[in-house]
Structure 1
Amino acid sequence: MTDDETGRPIGKERWQIPGGHVPVDSTGPEPEMVSHDRLCLLNAGTEMAILEILLYYADGREAGPYPLTVAPRRVRHVRINDLIDPYAPPLGEDYGIVVESNEPIVVQFSRQDTTHAERATLSSIAYGE
């Protein structure tokens, strides 16, 4: 899918999400009910999107880059909890995310909080530039 005015694939090459926080506790069966933050990455273009994800913490620490790819005309869901190398993100800490891509993509952020039996889900579009 392309932007009608430019003919380029829809999306942006840099995205920011300031409100990351993976809850420590979870209720319910694993893995589907584990509290988590998730990125939904859409590559509507015709080229492979090569991404780097960086995490920035309130105390000045950085984690990453975490390399990922999204195939052309595909969507990929990535749990922040599942990022391991080079550094497993700690639970219960505030962080921000920067996603950089060589191709335009669209990024959505969501959180599943199952800390209590009354589960909560949050979702928002990231800020792209």
Structure 2
Amino acid sequence: MSNRKEGSTVWYIPDGFIPVKSSGNLESHEAICVLNCNEQDAETQVTVYFEDQEPIENIQVLVQGKRTKHIRTDWLDGSGRKIPKGVPYALRLESNLPVIVQFSRMDATQAENTLMTTMAYPAEQ
């Protein structure tokens, strides 16, 4: 095994949007999946950016060591503010330890559901 660093401490997700309405039994939503390969717990902080309003800052999420955490973006709450449905947003996730971040979107607005997933963008260290 090598001693190379796994992950990054800053990640960006520029395209977020939670639809107002869903159809069928599933609810449209988006999620950040954080993989922490470290022995120690990772202390992460999420910032939500908008086109026409101040960001939601300092959303703290703990990801235990050697674990993964799925974070529904519609459940994020920072200082009593949540991401509104029908509003474009972007995310920055910062961590005290290198982690790996993936972003997923479940679109249940049509008769057939669509699942999209992509790696977040890691900032250079």
TM-score, normalised with respect to structure 2: 0.91
TM-score, normalised with respect to structure 1: 0.89
**Offset, 1:83:** 1.1
Name the CA distance, whole Å, in 2 between partners of 1:9 and 1:47.
Answer: 14
Residue equivalent to 2:8: 12
Unmatched 5+ residue regions in structure 1? none
Name the CA distance, whole Å, in 2 between partners of 1:84 and 1:53.
Answer: 10
Map 1:44-59 → 2, pairs under 5 A: 44-59=37-52
Name the CA distance, whole Å, in 2 between partners of 1:8 and 1:63.
Answer: 33
Residue equivalent to 1:93: 87
Residue equivalent to 2:103: 109
Name the CA distance, whole Å, in 2 between partners of 1:51 and 1:8.
Answer: 21
Contact 2:56 2:78 in 1 (8 A): no
Q: Percent of aligned pairs with the same residue?
A: 34
**Offset, 1:80:** 0.4
- Residue by residue, what CA displacement relative to the aligned partner does 1:65-86 show, whole Å, maximum 9, x if unpaired? 2100100110010100111232
Unmatched 5+ residue regions in structure 2? none
**2:17 is aligned with 1:24:** no
Q: Structure 1 segments of 4 or more deviating over 4 A? A: none
**Offset, 1:59:** 1.2
Match of 1:74 among 60, 67, 76: 67
Contact 1:9 1:45 in 2 (8 A): no
- Residue by residue, what CA displacement relative to the aligned partner does 1:84-120 show, whole Å, maximum 9, x if unpaired? 2321110111111000000000000010010111111
